[in-house]
Amino acid sequence: MWSKETVAGRPAWRHAPSGVVFREVPGGTFRMGLSDEELGALRAIDAADASDDSLEYFLADATRMRPVREVRVGPFLLARHPLTVAQTRHWLPDYEDDFAESDDTVARVKDDDLDAVLEALPFRLPSEAEWEYAARAGTTTLTFRGDGVPDEDEILDVFADEKRVAASENAFGLAAMGCANEVCADVWTPHFENAPSDARPRTGDGPRAVRGGGGDLSPWQGCDEWLLLLSAFRSELDMFTAIRPVAPLPVTGGREAPAGPASRRPTVTDPSQQHRHMNTLCMLRMLHSHH
């Protein structure tokens, strides 16, 4: 079922039936959320006019990424990149994606397809804490690359070019973190008040939280889409999403660890609604301009 391999010079686990490559994320503690230092970095970018527009609209909404707290995370396996169209078809053979460039493009699933894939996956979704811990990979800056404004050249959503995939990896060997909006196990809550100090997802009814999404707006139109690449950025699931699954750590002796309790499937909102994730930044900027 699992094979231990070296991928791009790093240890990896490959799920043989689907071909999905997982990296082992070591356990540890980290400061989750948009820190005061990161807020300072954003204000410095704003003061230097390095963004497309004033960031006040974004800073005013930063409560959704706060308060910052220390979180304990146990070790786990996380897919090296979000599931591609081809990988999704392993569990959903009839899956089609009219917007995908190729079968190696990240699969953005929605509605019944999302429910069907999550039902068929032998894996679970990451919690928000696990996702952010994995995205930061030991860093405390806006992205794992630092406090500068990310460039659109950092966007990756087609995984056929191994050299580009490897160049996109962070210190944990995870590629394209923040490029696609990736669904998490947590129900959407517009802040971190009373959130657990371990990596458990927050449960309840309603849409789920998603992380990332910089590639969903590519080519960028000048609404500061780079903000979606921030390790702390989070929004509410609406319509489509990418999936980056979590697997338990394989154990030796020919036996595998159980998959653990399955996360509740995300509730997908009415597809007739405007896609909030795709328009969050532009809508906030427009609202700010009218104040």
Query: pTM for the full model?
Result: 0.89
Q: Tokens 């490029």 identify what position?
A: 179
Per the CB < 8 A criterion, the answer to whether 79 and 177 are in contact is no
Q: Is the pLDDT of residue 111 over 50?
A: yes
What's the mean per-residue pLDDT of the chain? 88
pLDDT higher for 62 or 260? 62
Q: Is the pLDDT of residue 146 over 70?
A: yes
- pLDDT at residue 250 in the model: 83
Secondary structure of 57-75 in the HEC alphabet? Answer: HHHHCHHHHCCCEEEEECC
- pLDDT digit string, tens, across residues 201-212: 999 999 999 999
- pLDDT digit string, tens, across residues 39-96: 999 999 999 999 999 999 999 999 999 999 999 999 999 999 999 999 999 999 999 9
Average pLDDT of the segment spanning 212-219: 88
**Other C-beta atoms lying within 10 Å of the C-beta of residue 71:** 24
Whole-angstrom distance, CA of residue 150 vs CA of residue 142? 9
> What's the Cα-to-Cα distance from 234 to each of 61, 69, 103, 179, 270, rounded to whole Å?
11, 16, 27, 12, 20
Cis peptide before 150, with omega less than 30 degrees from 0?
no
- pLDDT at residue 278 in the model: 42
Report the share of the chain in percent with pLDDT over 90: 79
